[in-house]
Amino acid sequence: MATIKDIAKRAGVAVSTVSYAISGNRPISEEVKKRIRQAMAELDYQPNPMARALAGKGTRILGLILDPLDRSLGITEIDLLSRAAEAARSMNYHLTLLTDDSRNLSVLEEIIADKLFDGFILMEIHKEDERVRFLSEKGLPFVIIGRDDRTQDFRSIDIDFQKTAEQVLAHVKEKGHREAGFINQSLNAFNRGYGPAVAMKASLEDTARRLGIKLDTRFCLPSREEGENVAVTLLRDNPALSVLLVMNDQALPGILKGISALGLSVPKDLSLISLLSSSKLAEMFHPSLTHMEIPSRELGWHGVCRLVEILEGRQENRGMILIPGTLHIGESTI
Protein backbone atom coordinates (compact mmCIF):
# COMPACT_ATOMS: atom_id res chain seq x y z
CA MET A 1 0.00 0.00 0.00
CA ALA A 2 1.15 3.43 -0.92
CA THR A 3 1.28 5.86 1.97
CA ILE A 4 0.94 9.58 1.99
CA LYS A 5 4.71 9.76 2.17
CA ASP A 6 5.08 7.89 -1.10
CA ILE A 7 2.82 10.19 -2.94
CA ALA A 8 4.46 13.25 -1.39
CA LYS A 9 7.80 12.07 -2.67
CA ARG A 10 6.42 11.27 -6.08
CA ALA A 11 4.79 14.68 -6.36
CA GLY A 12 7.88 16.36 -4.98
CA VAL A 13 6.10 18.04 -2.07
CA ALA A 14 5.77 17.63 1.66
CA VAL A 15 3.35 15.24 3.25
CA SER A 16 1.41 18.03 4.82
CA THR A 17 0.82 19.52 1.41
CA VAL A 18 -0.68 16.27 0.28
CA SER A 19 -2.81 16.08 3.36
CA TYR A 20 -4.12 19.58 2.81
CA ALA A 21 -4.64 18.97 -0.84
CA ILE A 22 -6.88 16.09 0.07
CA SER A 23 -8.80 17.68 2.89
CA GLY A 24 -8.96 21.08 1.28
CA ASN A 25 -8.31 22.62 4.65
CA ARG A 26 -5.81 24.96 3.16
CA PRO A 27 -5.44 26.55 -0.25
CA ILE A 28 -2.99 24.74 -2.48
CA SER A 29 -1.86 25.99 -5.86
CA GLU A 30 -3.54 24.37 -8.79
CA GLU A 31 -0.27 23.17 -10.19
CA VAL A 32 0.78 21.35 -7.07
CA LYS A 33 -2.66 19.95 -6.68
CA LYS A 34 -2.48 18.51 -10.13
CA ARG A 35 0.83 16.82 -9.48
CA ILE A 36 -0.53 15.37 -6.30
CA ARG A 37 -3.65 14.09 -7.94
CA GLN A 38 -1.58 12.42 -10.55
CA ALA A 39 0.69 10.77 -8.04
CA MET A 40 -2.32 9.56 -6.16
CA ALA A 41 -3.75 8.07 -9.27
CA GLU A 42 -0.54 6.40 -10.34
CA LEU A 43 0.03 4.72 -7.02
CA ASP A 44 -3.66 4.36 -6.52
CA TYR A 45 -3.31 5.79 -3.14
CA GLN A 46 -5.96 5.39 -0.52
CA PRO A 47 -5.63 7.08 2.83
CA ASN A 48 -5.37 4.57 5.62
CA PRO A 49 -8.56 4.90 7.59
CA MET A 50 -6.91 3.73 10.79
CA ALA A 51 -4.23 6.34 10.69
CA ARG A 52 -6.72 8.99 9.81
CA ALA A 53 -8.91 7.95 12.68
CA LEU A 54 -6.02 7.94 15.09
CA ALA A 55 -5.07 11.40 14.05
CA GLY A 56 -8.44 12.59 15.11
CA LYS A 57 -10.75 12.42 12.16
CA GLY A 58 -13.52 9.90 12.14
CA THR A 59 -13.48 6.29 11.17
CA ARG A 60 -16.21 6.66 8.61
CA ILE A 61 -17.90 3.74 10.21
CA LEU A 62 -21.51 3.95 11.23
CA GLY A 63 -23.13 1.66 13.75
CA LEU A 64 -26.63 0.41 13.17
CA ILE A 65 -27.98 -0.58 16.55
CA LEU A 66 -30.46 -3.40 16.35
CA ASP A 67 -32.24 -5.19 19.09
CA PRO A 68 -30.73 -8.53 19.93
CA LEU A 69 -31.70 -10.43 16.91
CA ASP A 70 -33.52 -13.57 17.81
CA ARG A 71 -36.97 -12.21 17.60
CA SER A 72 -36.88 -9.19 15.37
CA LEU A 73 -35.48 -8.86 11.90
CA GLY A 74 -38.19 -9.79 9.55
CA ILE A 75 -38.37 -9.22 5.88
CA THR A 76 -39.04 -5.60 6.66
CA GLU A 77 -35.86 -4.66 8.39
CA ILE A 78 -33.79 -6.38 5.80
CA ASP A 79 -34.89 -3.87 3.22
CA LEU A 80 -34.09 -1.10 5.60
CA LEU A 81 -30.75 -2.60 6.28
CA SER A 82 -29.81 -3.05 2.70
CA ARG A 83 -30.72 0.47 1.74
CA ALA A 84 -28.89 1.80 4.73
CA ALA A 85 -25.77 -0.07 3.73
CA GLU A 86 -26.16 1.20 0.23
CA ALA A 87 -26.55 4.78 1.38
CA ALA A 88 -23.55 4.51 3.63
CA ARG A 89 -21.53 3.11 0.80
CA SER A 90 -22.54 5.83 -1.58
CA MET A 91 -21.33 8.45 0.85
CA ASN A 92 -18.17 6.58 1.51
CA TYR A 93 -19.05 5.25 4.90
CA HIS A 94 -19.25 1.74 6.22
CA LEU A 95 -22.18 0.30 8.06
CA THR A 96 -21.75 -2.17 10.82
CA LEU A 97 -24.37 -4.16 12.61
CA LEU A 98 -24.51 -3.77 16.35
CA THR A 99 -26.54 -6.48 17.93
CA ASP A 100 -25.49 -6.11 21.50
CA ASP A 101 -28.14 -5.47 24.06
CA SER A 102 -27.99 -1.74 23.69
CA ARG A 103 -30.87 -1.14 26.08
CA ASN A 104 -28.43 -2.11 28.77
CA LEU A 105 -26.75 1.24 29.02
CA SER A 106 -23.46 -0.12 30.25
CA VAL A 107 -23.29 -2.24 27.15
CA LEU A 108 -24.08 0.77 25.04
CA GLU A 109 -21.36 2.63 26.85
CA GLU A 110 -18.85 -0.02 25.92
CA ILE A 111 -19.87 0.18 22.33
CA ILE A 112 -19.33 3.87 22.11
CA ALA A 113 -16.24 3.79 24.26
CA ASP A 114 -13.99 2.24 21.69
CA LYS A 115 -14.53 5.16 19.39
CA LEU A 116 -14.87 2.88 16.46
CA PHE A 117 -18.03 4.52 15.28
CA ASP A 118 -18.58 8.00 14.05
CA GLY A 119 -22.28 7.83 14.64
CA PHE A 120 -25.20 5.59 15.35
CA ILE A 121 -28.57 4.70 14.01
CA LEU A 122 -31.06 3.53 16.57
CA MET A 123 -34.04 1.41 15.73
CA GLU A 124 -36.98 -0.02 17.58
CA ILE A 125 -37.47 3.02 19.66
CA HIS A 126 -39.75 2.76 22.65
CA LYS A 127 -41.35 5.44 24.70
CA GLU A 128 -38.80 7.21 26.83
CA ASP A 129 -36.04 5.24 25.30
CA GLU A 130 -33.13 5.62 27.69
CA ARG A 131 -30.65 5.15 24.94
CA VAL A 132 -31.76 8.36 23.33
CA ARG A 133 -31.14 10.33 26.48
CA PHE A 134 -27.85 8.58 27.00
CA LEU A 135 -26.49 9.31 23.57
CA SER A 136 -27.73 12.86 23.74
CA GLU A 137 -25.97 13.47 27.01
CA LYS A 138 -22.76 12.05 25.68
CA GLY A 139 -23.13 14.37 22.75
CA LEU A 140 -22.73 11.56 20.29
CA PRO A 141 -24.01 11.86 16.76
CA PHE A 142 -27.01 9.65 16.19
CA VAL A 143 -30.34 9.43 14.52
CA ILE A 144 -33.32 7.35 15.40
CA ILE A 145 -35.60 5.48 13.13
CA GLY A 146 -38.79 5.76 15.05
CA ARG A 147 -40.02 8.41 17.42
CA ASP A 148 -39.16 9.74 20.79
CA ASP A 149 -40.75 12.87 22.09
CA ARG A 150 -37.64 14.28 23.62
CA THR A 151 -35.46 13.95 20.58
CA GLN A 152 -34.68 16.94 18.51
CA ASP A 153 -36.60 16.67 15.30
CA PHE A 154 -33.65 16.59 13.02
CA ARG A 155 -32.61 13.32 14.57
CA SER A 156 -35.76 11.42 13.73
CA ILE A 157 -36.79 9.50 10.69
CA ASP A 158 -40.11 7.78 10.94
CA ILE A 159 -43.11 6.46 9.17
CA ASP A 160 -45.77 9.05 8.53
CA PHE A 161 -48.52 7.24 10.31
CA GLN A 162 -50.99 10.02 9.88
CA LYS A 163 -50.69 10.13 6.12
CA THR A 164 -50.64 6.38 5.97
CA ALA A 165 -53.85 6.22 7.95
CA GLU A 166 -55.48 8.89 5.85
CA GLN A 167 -54.54 7.21 2.64
CA VAL A 168 -55.73 3.77 3.58
CA LEU A 169 -58.96 4.97 5.11
CA ALA A 170 -59.68 7.20 2.16
CA HIS A 171 -59.36 4.13 0.00
CA VAL A 172 -61.54 2.14 2.34
CA LYS A 173 -64.23 4.77 2.34
CA GLU A 174 -64.10 5.18 -1.38
CA LYS A 175 -64.77 1.48 -1.73
CA GLY A 176 -67.91 2.00 0.30
CA HIS A 177 -66.92 0.44 3.59
CA ARG A 178 -68.47 1.89 6.72
CA GLU A 179 -67.31 -0.50 9.39
CA ALA A 180 -63.73 -1.55 9.72
CA GLY A 181 -61.66 -3.61 12.10
CA PHE A 182 -58.08 -2.89 13.01
CA ILE A 183 -55.83 -5.63 14.28
CA ASN A 184 -52.91 -3.92 15.90
CA GLN A 185 -49.71 -5.32 17.31
CA SER A 186 -49.63 -6.66 20.84
CA LEU A 187 -50.89 -4.80 23.87
CA ASN A 188 -47.45 -5.25 25.27
CA ALA A 189 -45.83 -3.43 22.37
CA PHE A 190 -48.42 -0.71 22.77
CA ASN A 191 -47.74 -0.32 26.45
CA ARG A 192 -44.03 -0.14 25.89
CA GLY A 193 -44.81 2.78 23.68
CA TYR A 194 -43.58 1.13 20.54
CA GLY A 195 -44.10 3.72 17.83
CA PRO A 196 -46.09 1.87 15.21
CA ALA A 197 -48.46 0.27 17.71
CA VAL A 198 -49.19 3.60 19.34
CA ALA A 199 -49.11 6.02 16.46
CA MET A 200 -50.92 3.91 13.95
CA LYS A 201 -53.73 3.29 16.37
CA ALA A 202 -54.09 6.96 17.15
CA SER A 203 -53.96 8.07 13.54
CA LEU A 204 -56.33 5.40 12.39
CA GLU A 205 -58.90 6.07 15.07
CA ASP A 206 -58.68 9.78 14.61
CA THR A 207 -59.00 9.61 10.86
CA ALA A 208 -61.79 7.05 10.98
CA ARG A 209 -63.78 9.35 13.20
CA ARG A 210 -63.32 12.24 10.82
CA LEU A 211 -64.33 10.13 7.87
CA GLY A 212 -67.30 8.65 9.67
CA ILE A 213 -65.99 5.13 9.59
CA LYS A 214 -66.69 2.90 12.54
CA LEU A 215 -63.49 1.31 13.68
CA ASP A 216 -63.00 -1.50 16.16
CA THR A 217 -59.40 -1.90 17.31
CA ARG A 218 -57.91 -5.06 18.77
CA PHE A 219 -54.49 -5.99 19.98
CA CYS A 220 -52.95 -9.21 18.88
CA LEU A 221 -49.82 -11.14 19.71
CA PRO A 222 -47.63 -11.86 16.71
CA SER A 223 -48.65 -15.46 16.27
CA ARG A 224 -50.77 -17.57 14.04
CA GLU A 225 -52.92 -18.79 16.90
CA GLU A 226 -53.63 -15.37 18.31
CA GLY A 227 -54.37 -14.09 14.85
CA GLU A 228 -57.05 -16.68 14.44
CA ASN A 229 -58.59 -16.01 17.83
CA VAL A 230 -58.60 -12.29 17.49
CA ALA A 231 -60.01 -12.36 13.99
CA VAL A 232 -62.83 -14.66 15.00
CA THR A 233 -63.75 -12.61 18.04
CA LEU A 234 -63.54 -9.36 16.19
CA LEU A 235 -65.74 -10.58 13.38
CA ARG A 236 -68.28 -12.15 15.72
CA ASP A 237 -68.53 -8.89 17.62
CA ASN A 238 -69.03 -6.88 14.47
CA PRO A 239 -71.21 -8.71 12.01
CA ALA A 240 -71.42 -5.70 9.73
CA LEU A 241 -67.68 -5.32 9.46
CA SER A 242 -66.62 -5.37 5.86
CA VAL A 243 -62.93 -4.57 5.91
CA LEU A 244 -60.09 -5.62 8.12
CA LEU A 245 -56.91 -3.61 8.56
CA VAL A 246 -54.04 -5.64 9.91
CA MET A 247 -50.71 -4.37 11.13
CA ASN A 248 -49.32 -7.65 12.33
CA ASP A 249 -47.49 -9.75 9.79
CA GLN A 250 -47.02 -12.80 11.93
CA ALA A 251 -50.68 -12.98 12.76
CA LEU A 252 -51.81 -12.76 9.15
CA PRO A 253 -51.93 -16.48 8.38
CA GLY A 254 -54.00 -17.05 11.49
CA ILE A 255 -56.30 -14.19 10.66
CA LEU A 256 -56.96 -15.62 7.24
CA LYS A 257 -57.62 -18.97 8.77
CA GLY A 258 -60.01 -17.45 11.26
CA ILE A 259 -61.88 -15.71 8.49
CA SER A 260 -62.39 -18.86 6.52
CA ALA A 261 -63.27 -20.73 9.69
CA LEU A 262 -66.23 -18.40 9.94
CA GLY A 263 -67.21 -19.36 6.45
CA LEU A 264 -66.22 -16.01 5.05
CA SER A 265 -64.06 -15.53 2.02
CA VAL A 266 -61.61 -12.80 1.09
CA PRO A 267 -62.33 -10.54 -0.68
CA LYS A 268 -65.90 -11.53 -1.46
CA ASP A 269 -67.29 -11.29 2.05
CA LEU A 270 -64.54 -9.32 3.66
CA SER A 271 -61.77 -7.10 2.41
CA LEU A 272 -58.35 -7.34 4.01
CA ILE A 273 -55.61 -4.75 3.99
CA SER A 274 -52.23 -5.31 5.53
CA LEU A 275 -50.71 -2.20 7.02
CA LEU A 276 -47.03 -1.43 6.79
CA SER A 277 -45.87 -4.77 5.60
CA SER A 278 -43.44 -5.46 2.83
CA SER A 279 -44.67 -6.10 -0.65
CA LYS A 280 -42.61 -9.23 -0.84
CA LEU A 281 -44.64 -10.60 1.99
CA ALA A 282 -48.00 -9.31 0.87
CA GLU A 283 -47.54 -10.95 -2.47
CA MET A 284 -46.83 -14.30 -0.92
CA PHE A 285 -50.41 -14.66 0.15
CA HIS A 286 -53.21 -16.06 -1.84
CA PRO A 287 -55.10 -13.98 -2.59
CA SER A 288 -52.29 -11.46 -2.69
CA LEU A 289 -52.87 -8.77 -0.15
CA THR A 290 -53.78 -5.20 -0.71
CA HIS A 291 -51.36 -3.40 1.55
CA MET A 292 -49.76 -0.18 2.59
CA GLU A 293 -46.17 -0.92 1.88
CA ILE A 294 -43.81 -0.01 4.66
CA PRO A 295 -41.23 2.46 3.44
CA SER A 296 -38.35 0.50 4.91
CA ARG A 297 -35.99 1.28 2.11
CA GLU A 298 -36.58 4.99 2.45
CA LEU A 299 -36.20 4.85 6.19
CA GLY A 300 -32.84 3.15 5.85
CA TRP A 301 -31.68 5.51 3.19
CA HIS A 302 -32.74 8.71 4.89
CA GLY A 303 -31.53 7.52 8.24
CA VAL A 304 -28.02 7.21 6.97
CA CYS A 305 -28.18 10.37 4.93
CA ARG A 306 -29.36 12.41 7.84
CA LEU A 307 -26.71 10.95 10.11
CA VAL A 308 -24.01 11.79 7.62
CA GLU A 309 -25.36 15.31 7.30
CA ILE A 310 -25.05 15.69 11.02
CA LEU A 311 -21.57 14.24 11.03
CA GLU A 312 -20.41 16.52 8.33
CA GLY A 313 -21.96 19.53 9.90
CA ARG A 314 -24.32 20.40 7.13
CA GLN A 315 -27.72 20.49 8.63
CA GLU A 316 -29.57 22.21 5.90
CA ASN A 317 -32.63 20.38 6.89
CA ARG A 318 -33.67 20.56 10.48
CA GLY A 319 -37.06 18.96 10.28
CA MET A 320 -38.13 15.47 11.14
CA ILE A 321 -38.33 13.14 8.20
CA LEU A 322 -41.68 11.45 7.83
CA ILE A 323 -42.39 8.93 5.14
CA PRO A 324 -45.83 7.52 4.46
CA GLY A 325 -46.52 3.99 3.31
CA THR A 326 -47.60 3.29 -0.23
CA LEU A 327 -50.88 1.75 -1.21
CA HIS A 328 -50.69 -1.37 -3.33
CA ILE A 329 -53.87 -2.90 -4.54
CA GLY A 330 -53.86 -6.66 -4.38
CA GLU A 331 -56.54 -9.29 -4.65
CA SER A 332 -57.75 -9.09 -1.07
CA THR A 333 -60.03 -6.11 -1.50
CA ILE A 334 -62.92 -5.24 -3.66
Partner DNA sequence: CTGTTAGCGCATTCAG
Partner DNA sequence: CTGAATGCGCTAACAG
Residues in contact with DNA by the rule CB under 7 A: 1, 3-5, 12-17, 19-20, 22-23, 25-29, 31-32, 45-48, 50-52, 54-57
Give least dist CB 31 to DNA, A.
6
Q: Residue 69: which of DNA, a second copy, none does it interact with, CB under 5 to 8 A by kind?
A: a second copy
Binding partner of residue 136 among a second copy, DNA, none, CB under 5 to 8 Å per kind? none
Question: Can you list the pairs that 97-100 forms with residues at least 24 positions away whose Cβ atoms lie under 8 Å?
Answer: 97/64, 97/66, 98/63, 98/64, 98/65, 98/66, 99/66, 99/67, 99/68, 99/69, 100/68
Provide the edge-to-edge strand list for the sheet that holds 290-293: 214-218, 179-183, 243-246, 271-277, 290-293, 326-328
- The residue range among 141-149, 168-176, 197-205, 285-293 that interacts with a second copy, by the rule CB under 8 A, is 285-293
The residue count for binding a second copy (CB under 8 A) is 52
Distance in angstroms (rounded) separating the CA atoms of residues 132 and 151: 7
Instruction: Report CA-CA distances (Å) from 235 to 181, 183, 264.
Output: 8, 11, 10
| Residue 26 in the binding site for a second copy (CB under 8 A) | no
**Kind and range of the H or E run holding 275:** strand 271-277
Angle (nearest 5°) at CA 275 between 304 and 264: 160
CA distance 10 to 243: 72
User: Interface with a second copy includes 286 (CB under 8 A)?
Assistant: yes
Question: What is the C-alpha to C-alpha distance for residues 298 and 325, in angstroms, rounded to an integer?
Answer: 10
DSSP-derived secondary structure letter, 276: E
25, interface contact from a second copy, DNA, none, CB < 5-8 Å by kind? DNA
Comparing CB distances to a second copy, the nearer of 213 and 254 is: 254
Looking at residues 92 to 111 of the shown chain, list those that interact with a second copy (rule: CB under 8 A).
94-100, 110
Per-residue x/- marks for a second copy, 38-57, CB under 8 A?
Answer: ------x-xxxxxx-xx---
CA within 13 Å, CB half, 183: 34
Residue 95 contact, options DNA, a second copy, none, Cβ 5-8 Å cut-off depending on partner type: a second copy
The CA R_g of the chain, rounded to the nearest whole Å, is 25
Pick what 97 binds: a second copy, DNA, none; C-beta below 5 to 8 Å, kind-dependent: a second copy
Q: Which stretch binds a second copy (CB under 8 A): 75-83, 128-136, 151-159, 181-189?
A: 75-83
Partner interacting with residue 199 (select from a second copy, DNA, none; CB below 5-8 Å by kind): none
The binding site for a second copy (CB under 8 A) comprises 1, 44, 46-51, 53-54, 59, 61, 66, 68-70, 73-75, 77-79, 81-83, 85-86, 89, 94-100, 110, 113-116, 224, 252-253, 256-257, 280-281, 283-286, 288
